[in-house]
Amino acid sequence: MKVSFPHGTTKAIALEELETHSSRLMARFGSETSGLQQEWQENKLIFSFTARGFPISGTLNVEDELIEIEVTLPLLARLMEGQIRDRAVQVMQEIFQPSMHGKGQIK
Return the pLDDT at 100: 52
Mean pLDDT, rounded, for 19-30: 70
More confident residue, 1 or 24: 1
Return the pLDDT at 15: 94
Q: Compute the distance between CA of residue 51 and CA of residue 74 in angstroms, rounded to an integer.
A: 11
Under DSSP, the state recorded for 7 is: -
Burial of 38 (0-12, 13-18, 19+ CB in 10 A): middle
Return the pLDDT at 61: 96
Statement: residue 81 has pLDDT above 60: yes
Length of the chain: 107
**DSSP one-letter string for 53-106:** TEEEEEEEEE-SSEEEEEEE--TGGGGGHHHHHHHHHHHHHHHH-GGGSTT---
